[in-house]
Amino acid sequence: MRIASAKGFPPPTGEDRSRSDQVGAARLGEQQPHADRPAAPTRSPLRSDHPPRTGEGEDSLDLAHIDTWVFDLDDTLYPPEQGVMALVQGRINAFMVDAVGLPADEARVLQKQFLNEHGTTLAGLMANYAVDADKFLREVHDVPLDSLEPSPRMADALARLPGRRFVLTNGARCHASRVMERIGITDLFDGVFAIEDMDLTPKPAPSTFRRFVQRFGIDPHRAVFFEDTPRNLAPAKAMGMTTVLIGEGRGHELGDWIDATAPDLLSFLEPLPLRDAA
Ligand SMILES: [Mg+2]
């Protein structure tokens, strides 16, 4: 079975990169490159000889061997335009001000520094301050989900996928549970692997991916992973998974560890000729 993915994207512009670095890099769950990240994905971005495949024509993505479907949660299983992560970022900013005792602008600078030096805001806080990780996760995720739209279309698209389905998120369990319930997809998944399951060591740490596949008995070579953060796809690819970037990557580094791209998850899943696999 040959399956065509959705259309790809033009390379991000310098302006896009600047804007996304200001906003996107501070989001919970977006990590800086991890110390034990595999070496393969560190090649320069957007090399003309190794662009991410778009699934069009000869580059169509073969998913015939896939029996496990793995999804990031935030900005992957629902569109970023619905604003959930913007609310979470606001909570992170507020938590930082309380935790470090600095004015908001200085706390914001420090939060970006934590991201660069420790991979996550929480990891930086834990290394430098006496912080309650559970309190952090609870407070930053305690946002209203009114803007998040229930999606029967997403439920239908997920339900027709052959095999098991999992969520792999750097967010907290309670957040994943609330978001999935709101979208209407809770019962469609065989498991959720959240930050608590990672011992607070988030994607893209390869050890976290190893722990994930061991927990659920997943053969990486028969799994496909959908993510909106490009670097989180790298260790998945290194393990043998097929990788699909959802969205344009917000200006972050892209490379040949990305097998296909799609502007949004529905545009990738809905056209899949899955009846052939039944
Ligand atoms: Mg995400």
Q: Where among 140, 162, 185 does a domain terminate?
A: 140
At residue 252 the predicted structure's pLDDT band, cuts being 50, 70 and 90, is confident
pLDDT in tens, 84-126: 999 999 999 999 999 999 999 999 999 988 877 776 899 889 9
More confident residue, 34 or 197: 197
Residue 2 pLDDT greater than 80, yes or no: no
Tokens 């991916």 -> residue = 209
Q: Beta strand 191-193 with 223-227: parallel, antiparallel or unpaired? A: unpaired
Beta bridge partners of 192: 167
Domain span including residue 153: 1-32+41-82+149-278
CA of 73 to the centre of ligand 1 (A): 6
Residue 20 pLDDT greater than 80, yes or no: no
CA of 247 to the centre of ligand 1 (A): 10
Residues 45 and 163 in one domain: yes
pLDDT in tens, 199-244: 888 888 999 999 999 999 999 999 999 999 999 999 999 999 999 9
CA of 166 to the centre of ligand 1 (A): 14
CA of 170 to the centre of ligand 1 (A): 8
Residues 64 and 188 in one domain: yes
CA of 10 to the centre of ligand 1 (A): 20
Residues 133 and 175 in one domain: no
CA of 220 to the centre of ligand 1 (A): 20
Mean pLDDT of the chain: 81
Q: What percent of the chain has pLDDT over 70?
A: 77
CA of 72 to the centre of ligand 1 (A): 6
Instruction: Give the pLDDT score at 59.
Output: 53
Residues 78 and 98 in one domain: no
Residues 93 and 183 in one domain: no
CA of 30 to the centre of ligand 1 (A): 8
Q: How far apart are CA 189 and CA 184, in angstroms?
A: 11
CA of 232 to the centre of ligand 1 (A): 9
CA of 29 to the centre of ligand 1 (A): 7
Q: How far apart are CA 180 and CA 81, in angstroms?
A: 17
Q: Round to the nearest angstrom and report the end-to-end CA distance of the chain.
A: 11
SS3 of residue 3 by DSSP: strand
Residue 136 pLDDT greater than 90, yes or no: yes
Query: Which residues lie at CB < 5 A from ion ligand 1?
Result: 72, 74-75, 228
Instruction: Give the pLDDT score at 185.
Output: 98
Q: How far apart are CA 37 and CA 44, in angstroms?
A: 15
SS3 of residue 42 by DSSP: helix
Q: How far apart are CA 130 and CA 114, in angstroms?
A: 15
Q: Which helix H or strand E contains 265, and what residues bound it?
A: helix 265-269
Residues 99 and 154 in one domain: no
Residues 78 and 88 in one domain: no
Number of domains in the chain: 2
CA of 57 to the centre of ligand 1 (A): 28
CA of 229 to the centre of ligand 1 (A): 6
Which structure tokens are listed for 171? 């967010």
pLDDT in tens, 25-74: 323 333 333 333 333 333 223 233 334 444 443 357 889 999 999 999 99
CA of 59 to the centre of ligand 1 (A): 25
Q: Beta strand 68-71 with 164-168: parallel, antiparallel or unpaired? A: parallel
Q: Where among 96, 113, 140 does a domain terminate?
A: 140
CA of 278 to the centre of ligand 1 (A): 30
CA of 276 to the centre of ligand 1 (A): 30
